[in-house]
Amino acid sequence: MNGQQTLWQFMQQQSGKLLTQTVEHIGLTFISLLIAVVIGLPLGIFIARKKQFSGAVLGIAGVLQTIPSIALLGFMIPLLGIGPKPAIVALFLYALLPIIRNAFTGITGVNPSVKEAAQAMGMSAWQILFKVELPLAMPVILAGIRTATVINVGVATLASYIAAGGLGEFIFGGISLNNSNMILAGAIPAALLAILFDLALALLQKISFKKLKFGLYAMLAIAIVLAALYLIPTSSSSKLTAGFTPEFMGREDGNLGLQKKYDLKIHTIVINDAVMYKAAFEKEIDVISGYSTDGRLKAYNLVVLEDDKKIFPPYYAAPIVRQDALQKFPDLEKALNMLSGHINDSVMTDLNYRTDYLHQTPERVAKDFLVAQHLYKPATAGKSGTVRIGSKVFGEQYILANMYSMLIEGYTPYHAATKTGLGGTKICFDALTNNQIDFYPEYTGTGLLVLLQPNPAVLQHIEADKDKTYQYVQQQFIKRYKIQWLKPIGFNNAYALMMRKQQTDKLGIKTISDLKRFLDSEQ
């Protein structure tokens, strides 16, 4: 197992990928920066001339800056699809404000008597701009570019969410896979890039006025070259494109298994699960690594390809609770087990559909369901302590967390506090083991393959059997972490390959083996 692998070994082993990602990262940063300079600098100069527009322009750039990066990337998909284009546009928008603002501040900050002298000597407006104002404003303008560069290096990690590559692939893959080496292999180079670019620009800022001109040209040339690195097109040999999450990419029961057992050869891009379904719907990608109970399956008219060689192990959901929490809250276990047996796959898909597609709140979906099942009771005023509920950052977990919260408040004397939206398996699990939350819903497959990571012999023995998996994780979690798996809720949210229904009908693909055959026939 790679649990004992050092960071250095990991980086060596993945050096090819690391290099590609770093180059992609630099490319994304500089291409967007270049566009931001090309547009932001003239805009800053313009509003320094026509001050009546400065409020509006700086205001809009400021608002763009406040949009959360993930949200901005999400907005871009319907407009620009996935891949580098929307990422570059988003990064460009983030870089705009510091560049416009500093150009504006720099130009308006030039000593008025110097400007007056230039005018009185008989310089034209352009001569004043290029010979006087820009050289004098340059240190301030460079400071803006410097800020924008550092921002962009940081935000570019999020580009991996929409299949634009970059070091975010390692960072977010690592978080999903509970692999610290992978996280660091992405995070350290990203941090180094930020520091390196910052230092380089700081150096440029200190250079005297004379050399600055040269430095500026040099920077422009370097930026163009670095940006060009990114534009080298990635050719795809197959007609179909797969979009897999970073987690799926690195898992034995994911892309690795697909390659080994099915020998599936498909052009693959890495994408975040928040945008993956939509991207499939928008025909940006054809095959995705979805979850079998995801509501968007229904919303976007996607179908699951049958896993005819059984590489996806069962993912039965069950609450996992720290043992000391069960002792501290004696009534908790009974309340949590009440949900068991009430939700099967299709029920869960429907519940997810309500939140993801009908945009009902998870609270409402949870309450409607509990009421329909005659499980709902109004909250008691009980104040015998607070149970902290965690959840991962997707709809199903929000719904479950809300159901548990209502059950606890209705049936026990405890107050329930939800800490929803914890980034991924690793963050959620770390929160549990570090006593930041008391329980959260986990899946047997994740517990087995991501958290426990047993050796292949064990896997061989238990894989694909739902009861054996559950028993194994239950025993091991108590032994290793003092964490208890309660009764499974009933549904199996396993990994699944999905495609648009229309496309599968047209191509006659029903199973993963069908897909494999189709791809091979294409080549």
Binding residues vs other proteins (CB under 8 A): 111, 113-114, 116-124, 127, 131-132, 135-136, 209-210
CB of 37 to other proteins, least distance (A): 21
Taking phi first (over 0 means left), then psi (-120 to 50 degrees means alpha), and beta for anything else, what does residue 508 get?
A: left
> Tokens in use for 500?
């648009």
Please identify, using beta-carbon distances, which residue of 136 and 325 lies nearer to other proteins. 136
Please identify, using beta-carbon distances, which residue of 49 and 309 lies nearer to other proteins. 49
Q: Work out the number of other CB atoms within 10 angstroms of the CB of residue 209.
A: 10
Q: How far apart are CA 508 and CA 248, in angstroms?
A: 25
Please identify, using beta-carbon distances, which residue of 122 and 508 lies nearer to other proteins. 122
Please identify, using beta-carbon distances, which residue of 18 and 212 lies nearer to other proteins. 212
b/e per residue 488-506 (b: at least 16 CB within 10 A): bbbbbbbbbbbbbeebbee
Please identify, using beta-carbon distances, which residue of 211 and 334 lies nearer to other proteins. 211
CB of 130 to other proteins, least distance (A): 12
In 3-state terms the chain splits into helix, strand, coil percentages (rounded to 5) of 65, 10, 25
Backbone Cα Rg of the chain? 27
Please identify, using beta-carbon distances, which residue of 121 and 228 lies nearer to other proteins. 121
CB of 134 to other proteins, least distance (A): 10
Q: How far apart are CA 427 and CA 435, in angstroms?
A: 12
Burial of 66 (0-12, 13-18, 19+ CB in 10 A): exposed
> Which phi and psi (to 5°) does residue 7 adopt?
-55, -40
Positive or negative, the CA dihedral 461, 463, 467, 473 is: positive
> Tokens in use for 66?
């406040």
CB of 142 to other proteins, least distance (A): 14
> What does the DSSP assignment read for 101-159?
HHHHHHHHTS-HHHHHHHHHTT--HHHIIIIIIHHHHHHHHHHHHHHHHHHHHHHGGGG
348 closest CA partner among 500, 447, 490: 490
User: Residue 302: which H helix or E strand, with range?
Assistant: strand 302-304
CB of 45 to other proteins, least distance (A): 18
Question: Position 380: which residue type?
Answer: T
> Which phi and psi (to 5°) does residue 87 adopt?
-65, -45
Please identify, using beta-carbon distances, which residue of 64 and 123 lies nearer to other proteins. 123
Please identify, using beta-carbon distances, which residue of 132 and 159 lies nearer to other proteins. 132
Q: Are strands 415-422 and 386-392 parallel, antiparallel or unpaired?
A: parallel
CB of 99 to other proteins, least distance (A): 21
CB of 220 to other proteins, least distance (A): 20
Please identify, using beta-carbon distances, which residue of 53 and 209 lies nearer to other proteins. 209
CB of 235 to other proteins, least distance (A): 49
Please identify, using beta-carbon distances, which residue of 120 and 231 lies nearer to other proteins. 120
DSSP 306: B
CB of 128 to other proteins, least distance (A): 10
CB of 202 to other proteins, least distance (A): 19
